[in-house]
Copies of this chain bind each other. A is one copy, B any other.
Amino acid sequence: MSKLKRGLIVSCQAVKGEPLYGLNIMQYFAKAAVLGGASGIRANYTSDIIAVKNEVNVPVIGIIKEVYEDSDVYITPTIKEVEELLKTGCEVIALDATARPRPNGEKLENLVSYIRKNSPQTEIMADCSTFEEAKAADKLGFDYIGSTMRGYTEYTKGISIPDYGFLKKMKSELNAKIIAEGGIWEISQLDAVLECDPYAVVIGSSITRPMDITKRFAKEFEKWKI
Q: Which residue of chain B lies nearest to A226 when distances are taken between CB atoms in the complex?
A: B6
Contacts A6-B224, A210-B207, A210-B208; A215 near B28 (Cβ below 8 A): no
A189 to chain B, nearest CB (A): 10
Chain A residues bordering chain B, tally (CB within 8 A)? 46
Inter-chain contacts of A220 with B (CB < 8 A): 187, 190-191, 194
Could you say which of B20, B36, B201, B203 contacts A212, with CB atoms under 8 Å apart? B36
Q: Does A101 belong to the interface (CB within 8 Å)?
A: no
Q: What 18 new A-B contacts, CB under 8 Å, besides A8-B221, A19-B28, A37-B214?
A: A6-B221, A19-B31, A19-B35, A20-B28, A23-B25, A33-B211, A33-B214, A35-B211, A35-B214, A36-B212, A36-B218, A37-B218, A38-B214, A186-B187, A187-B220, A194-B221, A197-B225, A206-B213
Chain A residues close to B by CB (< 8 Å): 6-8, 10, 19-20, 23, 25, 28-29, 31-33, 35-38, 184, 186-187, 190-191, 194, 197, 201, 203, 206-221, 223-226
